[in-house]
Structure 1
Amino acid sequence: MQKPALLNQGNQSYNVPSSYHNLGFFLWAFLYKYIEKSTTQRNTEFLLHYIYSEKQVQMAKNSSKVAIMNLILLLSLLLMVSMAESRQLGIGFGKEETSNPNINCDSVYGAEEGDTCGSVIEKFNLSSDFFLSINPNINCDSFFVGQWLCTQGTVN
């Protein structure tokens, strides 16, 4: 068997058996370039497919991150609105303990400017003990205009 001869063409070197010289260098070069081109095309297709699939995976990761962030923002907004509106979530959060939860108020009065506990008691002819029992958390030193005050009710 003959040792392959080294052929140089420009910057590329090819190991070609000397028997190939009989077939002609151009035929061999054509076949080599054809194989090289098809390999490059396959590699290009593979790279394009890989890049495209990686882009889809990255987009899927990004969309799941965005969905989680949206959920967190929605829950935060719900919590803020619940706290601002003084609503209870049903799990004990925001529950205010009262000293006497069994108060039934039958009639209310909206405080006007200048009202005090004494003036409301006189206006509705109530005893101070009864007025304070049906309005347990009232601050007699500072009413605000429009504050609801219970004037008739029962304490159980």
Structure 2
Amino acid sequence: MKKIALLLLMGTAMLSCQKDRGRSGCEDKMCTYEYRSVSIRFVDKNGAPAEVTDFSVVNQRTGEKIYASSAAAINMIKGSFLVVDDGNLYSLSEAGDNLKVTGTSVETKQTKSAVLKISGGKCACHISKISGPDQIAFD
């Protein structure tokens, strides 16, 4: 009787487990519930926040434009823009992708770009900035 109860319990436990949400082939790991993002600041020659138009982020590996899902909140701060967040996790590679960030100064009409390397991937818990500047300065 104990064996049958144990088998029923194990069978119920196995059937009640959730599928791995597209992470098949990934090792088990503990992920936190935090939500990560990478932002960039545009500044003028004096280091003050610069108003920018035509902001864009392009993944150099795929050629696709990237839009951060929570960009509306930070993009309301003069000169600050969200490059990517965990909502973009699966569109990035585990080795890291070069993301070209571009913006045009409203004041000087100068266009500047920088490349940030950001990793992600289906087995990652969060995006991670590997390299690149925190700000872009206009002349």
Q: TM-score range by the shorter chain?
A: under 0.3
**Bigger RCO (CA 8 Å, 6+ sep):** 2
Give the structure with the higher percent helix. Answer: 1
TM-score by length of 1: 0.22
The higher radius of gyration belongs to: 1
